[in-house]
Amino acid sequence: MDRNIVAFHLGIEDVASLRFGISPGHELAAAIRLLQTAQSRPLHWGWLREARSSVPHEAFGLLSLLIAPQGYFPDFLTGPPGPDLTPSEELAMLRSTPPDVAAHQLRKVLRLAEGARHAAVERMAERPALALRRIAEAWSAMWDALLEPQWPQIRRLLLADISHRTGVMAGHGAGAMVGGLHDRVSWRPGEVRVRMNAWQEEVDCRGHGLLLVPSVLSSPWCSVLTEAPVQPTVFYPVLGLSPEWHRSGAPSDGRALARLLGAGRAAVLSVLDGARNTSDVARLCGIAPSTAVHHLTALRDAGLLSSTRRGAAVEHRRTALGDALLFTADSAGPAGPDPAPKG
């Protein structure tokens, strides 16, 4: 066993063993950690400055007892990541947690808890059914206040990342995709390896595969889940996150996109708000059909749109990656955060 390496064994180089998912609950847990470690996370200072005034302090105080700045937090706070898991589905899973399971996981938190935090979590473990109701209410309050307004953009970024990674895997193989997840993640034939600070483990993923989950609010860190019954999981930072990600809920003014793609291709990407055939694109952009074909081909090759033949015509749509690029506003440097709220 290699020192400080968690090795996920897939058995063979089988891309079907590598699956992607998203987790609203993981983003919420990461947000709670961000609020406790604001000074060390400059990538998210812009979001933190805007979000902290909305924090429901009682809910934050309760959940921060369970979610410390680092280390274990109860598995029941996050459901199994899925390809399009919704916040309401994840909250329903939390509410349906059996009390004995909750009590067991709360006692695991006690191993690293001290003082008043230890006493508070111990009281929860003694009355797990009541604790679950309070935790679910706090989860819902924190979600509604902090992440509900940002979820469309966060979801766009997550799906765009997955679209890009699956494209890399299809075109260049699992090794190229895995090697690009994070500088702590590497590939050996049939094996995904994650370098940790002080932890080593061999994890057999044969028969159930390995789940790869991008994250916005955990960026720039990488983490893993290995303990059954949770499916082996690697959380990694979403691709290309800028400090202004939280302000990207509407299309940018187009100047940055035009600088990146060129004015013609930026215009073509912008008009694909629904399925458009090549003639539609040419007409809406005021360009010749041959020029439209040229731009569409370049955008498709970059993974920013997909094309489907419908009879004699070809229809084009933006991909999730194209949406994320279009809906990313011009970036600016972050200002420092205010202190974390006190629960």
| pLDDT at residue number 112 | 85
| Residue 238 and residue 222 in contact, taking contact as beta carbons nearer than 8 Å | no
How many Cα atoms sit within 13 Å of 73 on the Cβ side? 21
Helices (H), the chain: 24-36, 45-51, 57-66, 87-95, 99-110, 115-126, 128-142, 151-172, 174-179, 255-261, 263-271, 278-285, 289-301, 320-326
> What does the angle CA 309 – CA 311 – CA 315 come to, to the nearest 5 degrees?
35
The two structure tokens encoding residue 166: 């699956």
Report the pLDDT value the prediction gives residue 245, as an integer from 0 to 100.
77
237, 272, 289: which is the final residue of a domain? 237
Host domain of residue 17: 5-237
Whether 250 is covered by a domain: the verdict is: no
Question: Which of 211, 237, 263 is the last residue in one of the domains?
Answer: 237
**Could you give the number of structural domains in the chain?**
2
22, 162: one domain: yes
Predicted local confidence at residue 253, as pLDDT = 53
Strand partners, 306: 317
Is the domain of 182 the same as that of 318? no
Distance between CA atoms of 75 and 78, rounded to whole angstroms?
A: 6
| Domain edge (last residue) among 178, 205, 237 | 237
Within 8 A by CB and 6+ apart from 340, the residues are 35, 36, 37, 38, 52
Choose among 268, 263, 319, 311: nearest CA to 293: 268
- Are residues 310 and 270 part of one domain? yes
Task: Specify if 242 maps to a domain.
Answer: no
pLDDT for 252 equals 52
Average pLDDT per run of 10 along the chain, which is 343 residues long? 88 74 95 88 86 93 94 91 89 96 95 93 97 98 93 86 84 90 92 90 89 91 85 91 69 68 88 84 89 93 87 85 67 39 39
CA distance 31 to 143: 10
119/211 same-domain check: yes
- pLDDT of 296 reads 95
pLDDT of the residue at 147: 93
Beta pairing, strands 233-237 & 210-215:
parallel
